[in-house]
Structure 1
Amino acid sequence: MNRSSRVDPIARLPSLTVVHGGPDAAGVPQHDFSTNRNAVGPCEDALRAVQASDPGHYPDPAYTALRKALGQFHGVPPSRVVLAASASEFIHRITALAAQQGARAVQVPLHGFGEYARAALARGMEVQPRGGPPHAPLQWACEPSSPLGLSDPAVLLWAAPQALDAQTGVLHEQPPLRVVDCAYAPLRLEGRAAWAGVPGSDLPVDAWQLWSPNKALGMTGVRAAYAIAPPGMDRWVDVLDTLAPAWPVGSHGVALLQAWVDPVVQRWLVYSLETLRAWKSRQQALCIDLGWAIHSGSLANYFCAQPDSDGDLPTLQARLAALRQAGIKLRDCTSFGLPGSVRLGVLAPQAQDALRTAWLALRGGRTIPAAPAHP
């Protein structure tokens, strides 16, 4: 073959712009509405556990005690627990497993976390936004969904026997790999599946559950997550463990996950949800008062809204940039497929009032005072 005619396999892969909330090149925002972490946190007991962890030694590479504790918490044997460096890392790892076993397509929520599609595109897989029948060999759901905070209809569909019988996509003669991202399940503020200390009890039994407790504990800087495999998936657990690097979770992540199952920490979480409910009601009222149109139905500690277009700045992106310079960050929902809208994590009243003041200044054509440097 002529060397000049060879096709670069990397060049064939599409690029996908990565958009995330949280700190950026300008540092930590003074008032960060762009992430969905529990603003009541950090949980003090979990924080103390992380600070007291031993960074001078490797964790147990098999995570024996941690798997046992997480299994007891979920009422499953430790053999069904898969440790992950983060939820994003697990998304990429299980997508790699699906691709390795011949999957050529993945079905993702119409509006959802970009890493589902990014992991698939990186492996040359077709991305199918959900809308038709769920036939892809790898299927994702998020319960509740992000950015809208709604119940994901796929969860009910997967739990229905008639839906399971109608499947045509297979993975090595196995049913499709289905994964429910439970990142926001502990932060659900309304509905029958609101956090009640029985994690995952109402999820389809044949779906994987992906848990990332750092959001619920208000400690997103500690990267650690885990997945619960469906019954009878021991072979897939072994393969996923083989695909992981050594020690995917460090000592701080181990401490966070061990604290997560502590009854004292779980009580703190339940109490924090009461505070978040009050803050959410106030924040939505503030947005309505500003003339913003709220996407209804959010069940979690975040919601989406469409800001008004009054003021001198011509685009929403320009207004968000001006807010960012003032230390206030909102999540632009364009990458979620909702242009013109923003997602707001629920914050304390002080931050809400800062948003009101800054937005009214923009509407009036005034300069927003620059934010002080974050300590």
Structure 2
Amino acid sequence: MTLPPLVPRVPHGGPTSGPFTGLDFSVNTNPFGPSPALLEVVRQADHATYPDPTYLAVRETLAGWHGVSPHRVCLSVGASDLLHRLVRAFLPAGDSLLSLHAPFGELARAATLQGAAVQVISSISGDLPPQVRLVYVGHPHNPTGHRLPPDELQALAERCGSSGALLILDEAYAPFLPAGPAPLGQAVVRLLSPGKAHGLVGARPAYALASPGVVARLDNLAPAWHIPAGTAALLAALPQAQPFLDLTIPRVSEHAAALASQLACFGPVEHHGTPYMTLTVGDAAAMTTQLLARGIRVRDCTSYGLPRRVRLSTRLPQDNAALQAALHSLRETGQFDG
């Protein structure tokens, strides 16, 4: 028997297997987290017994919050799992995934594992090619922060519906920006990863809002009891957790805007209101290594097709000042390749 080749895991920001005690700017999460209320919910969850295998109460709570039927809610541990399930359910081998700008790496890896093609484009107009089954839009996109205007997003959703494709709208970082109208239609799958905004990425909360038919197929691919008790409790408590976001998100936006302005002296900065931004440094891989040697971790954007850029997400002002000091030091020693 010939087995398919192994596909290496994609690079991500955040921890690696090696020890690190410095400042991590590579992870896009709320620096004021974790949300105290949600952290307490996770701690108080019933970890001693099996949860309801249907997670009905959690689905009903999220459904009521979003104004949809519980049959339109699909729970997950991390959006990565949802992306892998979407590919397995709706992207046959030989068909295509169309991504507006570079997709989240786990989605591209899932497509590769499935034997499907990935097409990355800078704009979407006209009819979709017949072999396209999934269309991915990061909204906002990571790492650029781009967002489509609401009318363009709705038009894209309608084109996907008419062509038989699904539009995956990845809203992992949407809570950091002013809310806009969500596109409507049976072809839309909204992915929500509230751990970023609440500073609780370690709990891996995620869910999708989609048509009942899509949710049924996604649920069919999940193992039994796939959501730990703490993560399920966190998801059920989200509607009551808004005060933390109301308090912290404006401050995150303020610090991110200040950091983007301060970094402009080192090179071109692209920032569109998200906690993260990109800085053009010349050789992103080299800069990442040089900063890591100084106890600072940033995200090399080479895997996004941007080998001259690094991505940085704001931390608190004193940490942001340390980042700038490290960049100044590299410049003074002639190691800054900007």
Query: TM (normalized to structure 1)?
Result: 0.81
Establish whether residue 35 from structure 1 lines up as the match of residue 15 from structure 2.
no
Residue pair 2:288, 2:297 contacting (<8 A) in 1 also: yes
- Give the aligned residue type for 2:292: R
- Tell me which of 201, 204, 220 is aligned to 2:184: 204
Residue pair 1:145, 1:152 contacting (<8 A) in 2 also: no
2:117 maps to: 126
- In the alignment, the residues of structure 1 paired with residue 161 and residue 35 of structure 2 have an alpha-carbon distance, to the nearest angstrom, of 44
The gaps in structure 1 that reach 5 residues or longer are 1-5, 169-174, 189-193, 310-314, 368-375
Distance of aligned partners of 1:43 and 1:240 in 2 relative to their CA distance in 1, 3 Å threshold = same
- Give the aligned residue type for 1:244: A
- Tell me which of 323, 329, 339 is aligned to 2:307: 339
Q: Which has the larger radius of gyration?
A: 1
Distance of aligned partners of 1:300 and 1:95 in 2 relative to their CA distance in 1, 3 Å threshold = same
- In the alignment, the residues of structure 2 paired with residue 335 and residue 29 of structure 1 have an alpha-carbon distance, to the nearest angstrom, of 25
1:258 Cα shift? Answer: 1.8
User: Secondary structure at 1:71's aligned position in 2?
Assistant: helix
- Tell me which of 242, 250, 259 is aligned to 1:274: 250
Residues 199-252 of structure 1 show CA distances to partners (whole Å, capped at 9, x for unaligned) of x7432333111111111100111112111113xxx2332222111111111011
1:164 maps to: 159
1:176 maps to: 165
- In the alignment, the residues of structure 1 paired with residue 254 and residue 157 of structure 2 have an alpha-carbon distance, to the nearest angstrom, of 40
Distance of aligned partners of 1:270 and 1:45 in 2 relative to their CA distance in 1, 3 Å threshold = same
- In the alignment, the residues of structure 2 paired with residue 335 and residue 22 of structure 1 have an alpha-carbon distance, to the nearest angstrom, of 15
2:15 maps to: 23
User: Secondary structure at 1:137's aligned position in 2?
Assistant: strand
2:195 maps to: 214
Q: Which runs of 4+ in 1 moved over 6 A?
A: none
- Give the aligned residue type for 1:160: A
User: Secondary structure at 2:27's aligned position in 1?
Assistant: coil
1:110 Cα shift? Answer: 1.9
1:149 maps to: 145
- In the alignment, the residues of structure 2 paired with residue 350 and residue 158 of structure 1 have an alpha-carbon distance, to the nearest angstrom, of 38
Residues 248-270 of structure 1 show CA distances to partners (whole Å, capped at 9, x for unaligned) of 110111122122121xx202102
2:204 maps to: 223
Distance of aligned partners of 1:235 and 1:203 in 2 relative to their CA distance in 1, 3 Å threshold = closer
Aligned residue runs from structure 1 range 256-271, under 5 A: 256-262=234-240, 265-271=241-247
- Tell me which of 213, 226, 233 is aligned to 1:248: 226
Residues 77-109 of structure 1 show CA distances to partners (whole Å, capped at 9, x for unaligned) of 111111112100000001100135x77111112
Distance of aligned partners of 1:29 and 1:21 in 2 relative to their CA distance in 1, 3 Å threshold = farther
2:261 maps to: 285
Residue pair 1:323, 1:358 contacting (<8 A) in 2 also: yes
1:29 Cα shift? Answer: 4.9
Greater shift, 87-96 or 178-187, is seen at 178-187
1:73 maps to: 65
Residue pair 2:284, 2:302 contacting (<8 A) in 1 also: no
1:372 maps to: none
Residue pair 1:23, 1:29 contacting (<8 A) in 2 also: no
1:303 maps to: 277
- In the alignment, the residues of structure 2 paired with residue 36 and residue 28 of structure 1 have an alpha-carbon distance, to the nearest angstrom, of 17
1:46 Cα shift? Answer: 0.9
Residues 317-372 of structure 1 show CA distances to partners (whole Å, capped at 9, x for unaligned) of 233213213321111111111111011111111111111121222222299xxxxx
Residue pair 2:284, 2:307 contacting (<8 A) in 1 also: no
- In the alignment, the residues of structure 1 paired with residue 254 and residue 156 of structure 2 have an alpha-carbon distance, to the nearest angstrom, of 39
Establish whether residue 320 from structure 1 lines up as the match of residue 300 from structure 2.
no
1:96 maps to: 88
- In the alignment, the residues of structure 2 paired with residue 94 and residue 30 of structure 1 have an alpha-carbon distance, to the nearest angstrom, of 36
Residue pair 2:157, 2:183 contacting (<8 A) in 1 also: no
Aligned length: 329
- In the alignment, the residues of structure 1 paired with residue 17 and residue 24 of structure 2 have an alpha-carbon distance, to the nearest angstrom, of 14
Q: Cα RMSD (Å) of the superposition? A: 2.4
Residue pair 2:278, 2:310 contacting (<8 A) in 1 also: yes
1:10 maps to: 4
